[in-house]
């Protein structure tokens, strides 16, 4: 098991390094670093000073090392607009984005798995076909438009839920979370559901395919032959088998949820990393953009690593196979 983890760790480090190189190249070679890193409103003397400070007059490989050194120390530049460390600004907003993405993930599982299992158990029933048709609709719908319609219906027309923003927060272990307050939940519900919609279709399809396959397996018949209640057969025997592919895919999709939160956060004015990125793209606040890219790559790599570990925990066959190598 540890061989497996070490190998994956090394791979992850390589990917992060490569991405940092790509971002560096993107900023310093494709784009004009003077534009990218220096506040365009600074005067000539200021620009010259910053160029010296940032080492932009040095050869490229020295600049790269400089960049990496700073990055490892947590310095990814200062925001033009806010004047503070770009990294700090982004990190402050990570809890909001993660809260949104995690809630969306949980919703996708709790809505998608039961629907998918039901559709898998009775593939020819009308309700199953309706569920499958709904899932095609689910991944065709453009997320941002659905978000708008949700606001329209639930906030403007019906007035049940607030239209934008994050609700009241409380501090838990130094992190601000909003799902522990009623007001927070009211604000969290729609954006999380909106974000979850994409993945619900995927989960339904996975759960349905997995269930259909599992129902024909001998171990289901054997479980019934042992006299187990149908509930137990489904909830323990079938579910554990289908959760493996569901969890793996979802784990990988969590990264995409974080990326897509950019859209949901913009629609619902949710104060997370994504909204900050979009605002920065409009304001040309480049240090934030650079910092965001680095952080998101790191998040991705960590998520992929965690999913691999989780997969090996859930599927005992993977563990044993690896130990035998």
Q: Which is nearer to another protein, 157 or 182 (CB)?
A: 157
How far from the centroid of its chain's Cα atoms is residue 274's Cα? Answer: 11
Query: Please, what is the minimum distance in Å from the beta carbon of residue 128 to another protein?
Result: 16
229 contacts another protein (rule: CB under 8 A): yes
Select 48 or 60, whichever has its Cβ closest to another protein: 60
Please tell me the distance from the alpha carbon of residue 52 to that of residue 34, in angstroms, as a whole number.
Answer: 11
Nearest-approach distance from CB 108 to another protein, in angstroms: 15
CA–CA dist 30, 55 (Å, integer): 18
> Which conformational region is residue 74 in: left (phi greater than 0), alpha (psi within -120 to 50 degrees), or beta?
left
H or E stretch covering 47: helix 44-54
Beta carbon nearer to another protein, 48 or 160: 160
Query: In the set 68, 91, 228, 295, which binds another protein (CB under 8 A)?
Result: 228
**3-state class (DSSP) for residue 176:** strand
Instruction: Decide: residue 137, CB within 10 A, 0-12 exposed, 13-18 middle, 19+ buried.
Output: exposed
Using rule CB under 8 A, residue 180 touches another protein: no
- Closest to another protein by CB, 175 or 236: 236
CB of 325: closest distance to another protein in angstroms?
A: 16
Neighbours of 47 (CB within 10 A): 15
Provide, rounded to whole angstroms, the least separation between the CB of residue 305 and another protein. Answer: 12
Asked if residue 143 binds another protein (CB under 8 A), the reply is yes
d(CA 267, CA 155): 13
What CA–CA distance (Å, rounded) separates 124 from 16? 47
Nearby residues of 216 by Cβ (< 8 Å), 6 or more positions away = none
Among 42, 48, 137, 313, binds another protein (CB under 8 A): 137
Number of residues that bind another protein (CB under 8 A): 64
Q: What is the number of alpha carbons within 13 Å of residue 295 lying toward its C-beta? A: 25
Taking the complex as a whole, the smallest distance from the CB of residue 173 to another protein amounts, in Å, to 29
> What would the DSSP string read from start to end of 190-222?
HHHHHHHHHHHHHHHHHHHHHHHHHHTSHHHHH
Residues 18-77, interacting with another protein (CB under 8 A)? 18, 26-27, 30-31
**Residues 279-308 close enough to bind another protein by CB under 8 A:** 281-282, 286, 289, 293, 296, 300, 304
Instruction: Please choose, out of 84-92, 120-128, 188-196, 230-238, the segment that lies near another protein by the rule CB under 8 A.
Output: 230-238
Residues 240 to 269: which contact another protein by CB under 8 A? Answer: 240-241, 244, 252, 255-256, 259-260, 262-263, 266-267
Element housing 319 (H / E)? helix 316-323
Q: What is the smallest separation between the CB atom of 306 and another protein, expressed in angstroms?
A: 14
Task: Quickly count: other Cβ atoms within 10 Å of residue 4's Cβ.
Answer: 17
To which residue do tokens 């897509």 refer? Answer: 260
User: In the complex, which residues of this chain contact another protein (CB under 8 A)?
Assistant: 15, 18, 26-27, 30-31, 136-137, 139-145, 148-149, 151-152, 156-157, 163, 217-219, 221-229, 232, 236-237, 240-241, 244, 252, 255-256, 259-260, 262-263, 266-267, 277-278, 281-282, 286, 289, 293, 296, 300, 304, 314-317, 320
């Amino acid at each position: 098991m540890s061989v497996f983890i070490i190998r994956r760790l090394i791979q992850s480090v390589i990917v992060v390094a490569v991405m940092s190189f790509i971002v560096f190249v993107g900023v310093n070679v494709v784009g004009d670093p003077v534009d990218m890193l220096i506040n365009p409103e600074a005067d000539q003397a200021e620009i010259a000073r910053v160029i010296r400070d940032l080492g932009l007059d040095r050869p490229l490989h020295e600049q790269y090392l400089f960049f990496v050194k700073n990055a490892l120390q947590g310095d990814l530049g200062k925001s033009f607009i806010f004047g503070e460390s770009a990294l700090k600004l982004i990190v402050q907003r990570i809890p909001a984005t993660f809260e949104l993405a995690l809630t969306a993930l949980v919703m996708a599982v709790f809505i998608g798995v039961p629907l998918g299992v039901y559709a898998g158990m009775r593939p020819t029933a009308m309700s199953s076909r309706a569920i499958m048709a709904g899932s095609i609709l689910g991944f065709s719908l453009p997320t941002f438009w659905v978000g708008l319609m949700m606001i329209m219906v639930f906030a403007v027309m019906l007035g049940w839920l607030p239209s934008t923003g994050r609700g009241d927060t409380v501090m838990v272990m130094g992190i601000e979370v909003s799902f522990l307050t009623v007001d927070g939940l009211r604000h969290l519900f729609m954006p999380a559901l909106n974000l979850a919609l994409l993945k619900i279709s995927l989960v339904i399809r996975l759960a349905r395919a997995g269930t259909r396959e599992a129902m024909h397996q001998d171990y289901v018949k054997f479980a019934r032959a042992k006299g187990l209640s149908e509930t137990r057969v489904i909830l323990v025997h079938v579910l554990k088998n289908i959760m493996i592919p569901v969890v793996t895919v979802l784990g990988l999709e969590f990264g995409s949820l974080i990326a897509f939160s950019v859209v949901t956060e913009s629609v619902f004015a949710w104060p997370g990393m994504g909204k900050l990125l979009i605002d920065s793209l409009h304001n040309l606040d480049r240090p934030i953009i650079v910092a965001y890219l680095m952080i998101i790559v790191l998040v991705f790599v960590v998520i992929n690593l965690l999913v691999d570990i989780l997969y090996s925990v859930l599927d005992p066959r993977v563990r044993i196979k690896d130990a035998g190598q």
